[in-house]
Structures are given as C-alpha cells and as structure tokens.
Amino acid sequence: MSLLLTEDEIRSVLDMENSIQAVEAAFKAYGEGRVNMPPKAYLYLPKGDFRAMYGEIKGFNGGGICGLKWVNVHPENPDRGLPTVMAKILLNDPENALELADMDGTCITNMRTGAAGAVAAKYLSRIDSRIAGFIGAGQQARTQLAGLLRVRAIKEVKVYDINKGRAVAFCNEMSEIHDIDINPVDTVTEAVKNSDIVTTVTPSRKPIVNLRNISRGTHLNAIGADAKGKEELDPLILKNSKIVIDDWEQASHSGEVNVPLEKGIISKDDIYATLGEIVTGKKGRTNDEEITVFDSTGLIIQDLALAYLAYKLCKDENMGEEKLFLSRR
C-alpha cells in the first residue's frame, strides 16, 4: 500500500526543528559514504525548467530509503498566482521497490533547503553571530530565516529585495512570527555590511554581493544558484574564503561555483569540503577571521530524509489515504 499525502498533511507534522535533525542526518550519511545519488537531470522549458532528482540513503533509520522528486522552477509563476517551485516525491523501499508514499514535495523542498542552510550555519558560522543579512525576500527566505534562528542567537536581520514592497511585507510578516529586529534596507551593501551571516536567495545570473562589503569572519549561505549560469557572489569572495559545497557533481554544473569554474577563476582544488565532511567532523572552521561559503544546490537525500520523516509521522497519526497501485498476481 502507498500512502498519499497532501501538502497540508505534511506541513502539519514537519517543523524546522525536526527538519534540521533529519537533514543533518542525511548529510552525515553523505559524509560516511552511505548515499547513492546521481546528479539531478534538467528539462529546460521556455518559461522555466523541471528537475528529476533520485537517490538512496543506506542504513537510514535502521534500514534504507530511496526515491524520486520531480520539481519545477518557474520564476514568472508568482505573477500567475502560482508558486515558483512545486514538487512531487515518490518514496520507495530499496529492498523490494515497493512504493511507501506518493506525496507532495513543495513543503518538503522549502523546509529541507532552509534546514540545510541552518546545518551549514551551525557548523560554519561563528558561535557569536548576531546580525544576519538577507538578499531576496521570497518564499525560500522564510525557511532560511526560521532555520537560522534555530541554530544561532540572531538579534538583528536586514533584508534587501529588488522589489522593495516584497522586502517590507516580508519584514512585517516575519517580525510578527519571530521576536527579533527585522528591517528592510535599500541596498545590497546595507544588507551585507557588518552582517555575521549573509544568505542569498535570488535567481541572479550575475554577482550581486561584493567582497569589499564582506567582513572578516562572515559566513555566507549561497542558496539561489541552482542551475547552470546562475551566480550571486563576486568570485573574489570564493577566492578568499573556505568553499563548502553539498555535492561536487551538482555544484560544479549548477551551484554558486559553476560560473567561476567554467571561467577558470577557481578550480576543484579551491573547494575546501563538502557539508557531509563538515558534519562528520573531518573538516571545519578553524578560526573566527576566515570567511566561509556554503554553496547549496539541494540534494535528493535531503528530500528523502524529510519525506521519510513525514511519512512515518503521518502514518503514526493515521493521516493520508492508502492506495494500492500494484495488483499482485
């Protein structure tokens, strides 16, 4: 039997705390070599694209899980009253291929990306980080902020968006949810300057954050670059920082590092570590002066970890609808 789960059902059982724990476990599995994960495949369309992501986590929660996510990115969708990102996930048992769940993946995509940013900040930002700068005030900024607040005692958040009204609306909404100082600013420079942690969540195809505005000891979560040709950071930031990626195969062709790599500005030798290596303690921040960058492209193992968590929690609560898709003969 396959459990059909809607976005509302999944949202009711996932929170940022259990999402961070699940995503951290996924990166631990990556660091220990317990994942089977081909790079994502892209279907490019006139108004956006679809990505097919599939993989396996071995020895996860006493067994193993595998599955597939079909997810889109259509930047013009908000103008149509639709989300930029929508997704479906199929969760399977790798031992016999039986489907465990057929589930909405939109909430999981947002939560796992925010959780990954939180895991990176937990291990790579300075413990005394108190000021955060956000570039981009879309849907993903919400979970990035929620995740960040779970791992660091942030007291002030500065938000820039190319659409000032969106930044204002974001700050007003987030100020009601989180009891901290959250304010819009007029420029990228204002958002970045003197910030301990900088999060970029834009679809930019040219650098928007410059090295000259980055303080020593800053940690940056580069979230927006998730396809070939996208970049948000001045390559000089990468040249002067410890670069941590989620996965080489994905980051090299679709992450923040993809354009600088193609232009020869940096090479594979400039990559300091994967987040899996950081989580397992093989590498890490060594002093409070260094700049660190996490290049997040989003891995299927993050989706699988959260999908399995949601599946188990919903099943325990008798949520969802069970369907028999396979007729045994």
Q: Distance between CA 128 and CA 54 in Å, rounded?
A: 37
Instruction: Label residue 210 exposed, middle or buried (CB < 10 Å: 0-12, 13-18, 19+).
Output: middle
Q: Distance between CA 277 and CA 29 in Å, rounded?
A: 10
Q: Where are the beta strands (DSSP E) in 80-180?
A: 87-92, 99-104, 131-135, 156-160
- CA separation, residue 75 to residues 51, 89, 213, 233, 301 (Å): 14, 21, 28, 20, 25
User: Which uninterrupted H or E stretch holds 181?
Assistant: strand 181-184
Instruction: Label residue 263 exposed, middle or buried (CB < 10 Å: 0-12, 13-18, 19+).
Output: exposed
Local structure of 281: helix, strand or coil:
coil
Q: Distance between CA 309 and CA 101 in Å, rounded?
A: 11
Beta bridge partners, 60, equal 63
* Residue 58 known to be catalytic: no
| Residues present in the chain in total | 329
CB neighbours of 48 closer than 8 A, spacing ≥ 6? 72, 73, 74, 75, 76, 77
* Residue whose C-alpha is closest to residue 275's, from 253, 248, 255: 248
User: Among residues 40, 69, 242, 283, which one is catalytic?
Assistant: 69
CB neighbours of 45 closer than 8 A, spacing ≥ 6? none
- CA separation, residue 106 to residues 6, 73, 289, 300 (Å): 10, 11, 37, 13
Q: Please identify every residue annotated as catalytic.
A: 69
